Amino acid sequence: MEKVLVSACLMGRRVRYDGRAKTSADARLAAWREEGRLVPHCPEVAGGLPVPRPAAEIEGGASGAAVLAGAARVLASDGSDVTAEFLAGARSALAAARASGVRVAVLKEGSPSCGSLSIYDGTFTGRRAPGQGVTTALLERNGIRVFGEDQIDEAAAYLRTLET
């Protein structure tokens, strides 16, 4: 059975920067959980950041790939540099995925770690721009397909192709 890496906050864990969860009500995620498919993970907490913590964004509107390449930093809203923690979190997510043979992930859209289609643009003004978070960029680079929580149909279809 194919396992699915999933953002821990989508599964009700209170690991977000504001100390809350972002629990998904999606029936398929619930079914996958019942089947024992899910591997919940929070890269930012795994990377050593506390809960709660200041919001963070990738500087200059850059994407996760630029952070992996050392060309952009991840900065918290208080100005501190949390790049190292984000990189450690991404590596931790990849290790968790590999340990379970994961080839597909459903991660929280918009996050500087977990976003897959869009992330905040680095201005802390609530604006999003197309791009991937740091963890998503590392997972995709290593052959793991990442879908947002609004793309569970696509994730399920991809999962079926892996299991047939």
How many angstroms separate the Cα of 6 from the Cα of each of 38, 51, 144, 150? Answer: 6, 19, 12, 13
Binds ligand SF4 (CB under 6 A): choice among 3, 24, 43, 94: 43
Cα(69)–Cα(63) distance, rounded to whole angstroms?
10
Is 113 a binding residue for ligand SF4 by CB under 6 A? The answer is yes
Instruction: Give the shortest CB-161-to-ligand SF4 separation in angstroms.
Output: 25
Q: What are phi and psi of 78, to 5 degrees?
A: -90, 5
Yes or no: say if 110 and 161 are a contact pair by the CB < 8 Å rule.
no
Closest by Cα among 149, 136, 120, 146 to 65: 136
What character string, x for contact with ligand SF4 (CB under 6 A) and - otherwise, covers 72-111? ------------------------------------x--x
Is 42 a binding residue for ligand SF4 by CB under 6 A? The answer is yes
Query: CB under 6 A: which stretch of 41-49, 55-63, 122-130, 148-156 binds ligand SF4?
Result: 41-49
Cα(64)–Cα(113) distance, rounded to whole angstroms?
8
Is 15 a binding residue for ligand SF4 by CB under 6 A? The answer is yes
What residues make contact with ligand SF4 under the rule CB under 6 A?
A: 7-9, 15-16, 42-44, 108, 111, 113-114
